[in-house]
C-alpha cells in the first residue's frame, strides 16, 4: 500500500515538473527550478524507502528524502524574497546555504555517527518498511532551520502585502500556501499515521501552487521583454493590462506621461470613475469592439513649448503563444505634429526638418533591426560579435570592389548590402535553443534543422520589410539571408543554386561569413590563424566561392587581418 501511495505522489511530482519545463521561460527565477527538482528527488526517496527491504536500503532512501528536508525550505524562502523584490545580501544567502549543507552532512552520517539518527533498527510490518530510530541533536537543529526559514518567508510576504504596491497581492497570497503547508507537513506528518508520511503530499501540493505562480509571474515582468528594452532607450511608454482590465505594469516612460500610474497597485481593475481609468478603458473597449480601432492620440497639456502629443497604439499582450491581455504603446509624436502645422508657412524649413526626421526614422528602423539581430545572436553560444564582424567584412570587400570600378556596382547596392549584412542570420530566431546553444558539434539531424535558418531568415525579413517602399533593399536583404550558404559548385543549401544563379550579394556575404567563422573561436573549435583561414578561402575559390571575387578578396585581405587583430 505504501509503495503505491508514494509511487502515485512521485508520478504526480514528475508530471508537474514536466509541465513546469514546458512553461519555463527566462522570467522565472532559478529558485523555481530548484524547488521542482528537490521535490521530485525527495518523492523518489520516499518510493525507495517504501521499497526498501534492509536497513542499508532504508537508510539510503532516508538520505535522499532529507534533501528536501534540508534544502527545500531554503529555496522556497529565496523564491519568496525574489518575487517580493526584496534583496538579501550575498553573504547571508551563502551563510544560510552553508548551514543547509552542514545539516545535510549530518544526514549523510546516518549509520556512522549519532548526529542525526541514533539507535537504528529496521523491520517490515504487514509488508511495510519501518525504520525505527531515535533522533540526534542535528535533527532538532533541522526543525529550527525549517521554522526559521518559514518565519522569515512569511514576514517577507506580510511586509510586501502591506508596503509594496508594485508586487502582485495574488502572487503573495499564493506564496503563503506552499510555505505553510510544507512546514506543517513536517510537524504533523508523523502524527496522523505511522505507516505512511504526508510530507510528500504537502510537497506535491506546493508544486501545484508554484506551477500557477510560474504561469502568472511572467505577466508582471514587463522590463524583461524585448519590446520594453527597446522602448526604455527612447521616450516611448509601455503599459499592460490583462483581459479583465487589471493593471499589470508599465515602464518609466509611461509613468512620466501618466504620473498617476505610480499610485496604482498591481492587479487593480481600472475604474471608469477615475480620469485615467476612463481614458484607458475607452482605448481598450474600442479595441475590443474592433481590432482595427487600435490607434489614438493623447495630449499632455502644458505651456506652448511643453505640450506633448503622443500616438497611442493598442495590441495584444502575449505570454508565449497565448494572448494574455493588452499592451498600450505611447510614442512621442510632438515634433511630427509641429511639422504639419508649419507646412503652409514654412515649407522650405519644413522640408529640411522632414529630411532630418526621415533620417532619424530610418536610423531608428535600422537600429531596431540591428537590435533584433543582436537579440537572436545572443541566443547562440558560438557566435558572439559575429554580425558586427561580418558586417565590417562585407564593407571592406565592397570598398575593394568599388576601387577598381570593374563591376560597376551602384552606390545604393553598396549601401544596401552593408545595411543588410547584420540580418543574414535572423532565421536563427526559429531554431530551437537546445540546438542553437549546444556546446559542441551538431549531429546530422541537428544540422539539418540548423540549415533551415537560411530560408526562415528570408521569410522573417520579408515580413519585417513587407510594407517598406524600398523594394530593392527588401529583395537584396532576403537574398543575403536566403542564399549566403549556397556554394558556387551547387553543393550548398537551401536551394542548391549554382554559379551565377546565386545573387551577387549572397556571394559576397558568403566570403565574409566563412572568413569570420574560420578566424573566430567557437565552442566546438579554436580560432584559425590568418594564414590557415586564407588557405581555405583561396582553395574554395571556384568551388565554394565565386572565383571572380578572388582578386577583391586578395586586395581586402590585409585590411581584414588588421581589423580582426583589433577585435579578437
pLDDT digits (tens, 9 = 90+) for 208-250: 888 888 777 666 655 454 554 554 455 688 899 999 899 998 8
pLDDT attached to residue 41: 92
pLDDT digits (tens, 9 = 90+) for 301-321: 766 567 888 889 999 988 766
Q: Confidence class of residue 559 from pLDDT cuts 50, 70 and 90?
A: very high
Q: Confidence class of residue 482 from pLDDT cuts 50, 70 and 90?
A: very high
**Stretch 493-498: mean pLDDT:** 93
Q: Which of the residue ranges 180-184, 290-294, 554-558 would you say has the lowest mean pLDDT?
A: 180-184
Distance between CA atoms of residues 432 and 434, nearest Å: 5
pLDDT attached to residue 370: 67
pLDDT attached to residue 189: 56
Domains 222-341 and 357-567 are alike in CATH topology: no
Q: Where are the domains of the chain?
A: 2-220, 222-341, 357-567
pLDDT reading at 262 higher than 60:
yes
pLDDT digits (tens, 9 = 90+) for 392-428: 999 999 999 998 888 888 999 999 999 888 888 888 8
pLDDT attached to residue 220: 62
Distance between CA atoms of residues 539 and 555, nearest Å: 16
Give how far the C-alpha of residue 163 lies from the chain's centroid of Cα atoms, to the nearest Å.
29
pLDDT attached to residue 318: 82
Q: Which of the residue ranges 261-270, 325-334, 358-367 would you say has the lowest mean pLDDT?
A: 358-367
Q: Confidence class of residue 495 from pLDDT cuts 50, 70 and 90?
A: very high
| pTM score | 0.44
Grid cell in block for residue 472: 530593392
pLDDT reading at 40 higher than 70:
yes
- Looking at residue 261, the DSSP 8-state letter turns out to be G
pLDDT attached to residue 545: 94
- Looking at per-residue confidence, does 364 or 508 come out higher? 508
Q: Confidence class of residue 194 from pLDDT cuts 50, 70 and 90?
A: low
* Nearest to 510, CA basis, from 411, 409, 417, 375: 417
Q: Which CATH number fits domain 222-341: 3.30.450.20, 3.40.190.80, 3.40.630.30, 3.30.43.10?
A: 3.30.450.20
Percent of the chain with pLDDT over 70: 83
| Highest-pLDDT range among 123-132, 336-345, 368-377, 493-502 | 493-502
**Stretch 456-480: mean pLDDT:** 88
Q: Confidence class of residue 498 from pLDDT cuts 50, 70 and 90?
A: very high
**Stretch 75-87: mean pLDDT:** 86
The overall average pLDDT reported for the chain is 83
Type and span of the H or E element at 125: strand 117-125
pLDDT reading at 169 higher than 70:
yes
pLDDT reading at 377 higher than 70:
no
DSSP for 316-351, written as a single string: EEEETTEEEEEEEEEEE-HHHHHHHHTTTT-HHHHH
**Stretch 25-39: mean pLDDT:** 81
pLDDT attached to residue 554: 94
CATH architecture of 357-567: Orthogonal Bundle (1.10)
DSSP for 86-121, written as a single string: ----HHHHHHHHHHHHHHHHHHHTTTT-TTSEEEEE
Q: Which fold has domain 2-220?
A: Rhopdopsin 7-helix transmembrane proteins (1.20.1070)
Distance between CA atoms of residues 485 and 507, nearest Å: 9
pLDDT attached to residue 4: 86
Burial 399-433 (b: 16+ CB within 10 A, else e): ebbbeeeeeebeeebbebbbbbbbbbbbbbbbbee
pLDDT reading at 359 higher than 50:
yes
pLDDT digits (tens, 9 = 90+) for 109-147: 998 888 998 888 888 877 778 788 888 899 889 888 888
pLDDT attached to residue 228: 46
Amino acid at each position: 500500500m505504501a509503495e503505491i501511495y508514494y509511487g502515485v505522489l512521485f508520478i504526480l511530482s514528475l508530471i508537474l515538473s514536466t509541465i513546469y519545463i514546458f512553461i519555463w521561460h527566462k522570467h522565472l527565477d532559478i529558485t523555481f527550478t530548484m524547488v521542482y527538482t528537490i521535490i521530485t528527488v525527495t518523492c523518489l526517496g520516499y518510493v525507495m524507502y517504501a521499497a526498501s527491504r534492509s536497513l542499508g536500503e532504508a537508510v539510503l532512501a532516508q538520505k535522499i528524502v532529507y534533501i528536501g528536508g534540508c534544502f527545500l525550505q531554503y529555496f522556497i524562502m529565496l523564491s519568496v524574497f525574489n518575487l517580493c523584490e526584496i534583496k538579501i545580501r550575498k553573504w547571508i544567502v551563502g551563510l544560510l546555504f552553508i548551514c543547509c549543507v552542514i545539516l545535510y552532512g549530518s544526514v549523510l552520517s546516518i549509520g556512522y555517527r549519532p548526529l542525526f539518527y541514533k539507535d537504528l533498527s529496521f523491520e517490515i510490518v504487514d509488508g511495510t518498511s519501518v525504520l525505527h530510530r531515535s533522533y540526534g541533536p542535528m535533527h532538532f537543529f533541522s526543525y529550527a532551520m525549517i521554522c526559521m526559514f518559514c518565519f522569515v518567508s512569511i514576514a517577507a510576504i506580510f511586509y510586501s502585502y502591506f508596503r509594496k504596491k508594485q508586487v502582485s497581492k495574488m502572487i503573495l497570497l499564493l506564496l503563503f500556501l506552499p510555505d505553510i503547508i510544507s512546514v506543517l507537513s513536517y510537524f504533523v506528518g508523523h502524527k496522523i499515521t505511522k505507516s505512511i508520511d504526508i510530507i510528500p503530499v504537502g510537497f506535491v501540493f506546493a508544486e501545484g501552487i508554484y506551477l500557477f505562480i510560474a504561469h502568472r509571474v511572467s505577466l508582471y515582468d514587463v522590463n524583461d521583454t524585448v519590446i520594453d528594452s527597446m522602448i526604455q532607450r527612447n521616450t516611448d511608454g509601455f503599459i499592460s493590462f490583462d483581459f479583465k482590465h487589471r493593471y499589470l505594469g508599465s515602464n518609466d516612460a509611461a509613468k512620466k506621461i501618466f504620473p498617476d500610474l505610480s499610485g496604482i497597485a498591481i492587479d487593480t481593475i481600472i475604474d471608469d470613475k477615475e480620469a485615467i481609468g476612463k481614458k484607458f478603458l475607452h482605448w481598450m473597449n474600442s479595441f475590443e469592439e474592433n481590432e482595427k480601432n487600435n490607434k489614438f492620440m493623447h495630449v499632455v497639456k502644458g505651456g506652448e513649448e511643453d505640450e506633448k502629443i503622443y500616438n497611442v497604439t493598442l495590441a495584444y499582450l502575449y505570454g508565449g503563444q497565448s494572448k494574455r491581455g493588452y499592451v498600450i504603446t505611447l510614442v512621442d509624436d510632438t515634433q511630427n505634429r509641429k511639422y504639419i502645422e508649419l507646412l503652409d508657412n514654412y515649407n522650405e524649413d519644413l522640408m529640411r526638418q522632414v529630411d532630418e526626421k526621415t533620417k532619424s526614422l530610418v536610423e531608428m528602423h535600422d537600429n531596431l533591426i540591428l537590435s533584433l539581430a543582436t537579440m537572436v545572436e545572443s541566443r547562440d553560444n558560438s557566435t558572439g560579435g559575429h554580425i558586427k564582424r561580418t558586417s565590417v567584412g562585407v564593407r571592406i570587400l565592397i570598398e575593394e570592389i568599388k576601387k577598381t570600378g570593374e563591376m560597376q556596382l551602384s552606390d545604393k547596392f553598396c549601401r544596401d548590402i552593408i545595411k543588410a549584412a547584420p540580418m543574414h542570420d535572423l532565421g536563427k530566431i526559429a531554431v530551437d535553443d537546445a540546438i542553437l546553444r549546444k556546446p559542441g558539434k551538431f549531429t546530422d539531424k541537428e544540422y539539418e534543422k540548423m540549415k533551415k535558418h537560411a530560408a526562415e531568415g528570408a521569410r522573417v525579413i520579408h515580413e519585417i520589410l513587407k510594407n517598406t517602399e524600398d523594394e530593392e533593399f527588401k529583395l537584396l536583404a532576403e537574398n543575403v539571408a536566403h542564399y549566403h550558404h549556397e556554394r558556387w559548385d551547387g553543393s550548398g543549401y537551401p536551394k542548391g543554386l549554382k554559379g551565377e544563379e546565386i545573387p551577387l550579394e549572397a556571394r559576397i556575404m558568403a566570403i565574409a561569413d566563412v572568413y569570420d567563422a574560420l578566424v573566430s573561436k567557437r565552442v566546438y573549435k579554436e580560432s584559425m590563424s590568418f594564414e590557415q583561414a586564407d588557405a581555405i578561402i583561396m582553395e574554395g575559390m571556384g568551388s565554394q566561392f565565386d572565383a571572380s571575387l578572388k582578386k577583391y578578396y586578395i586586395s581586402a585581405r590585409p585590411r581584414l587581418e588588421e581589423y580582426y587583430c583589433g577585435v579578437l
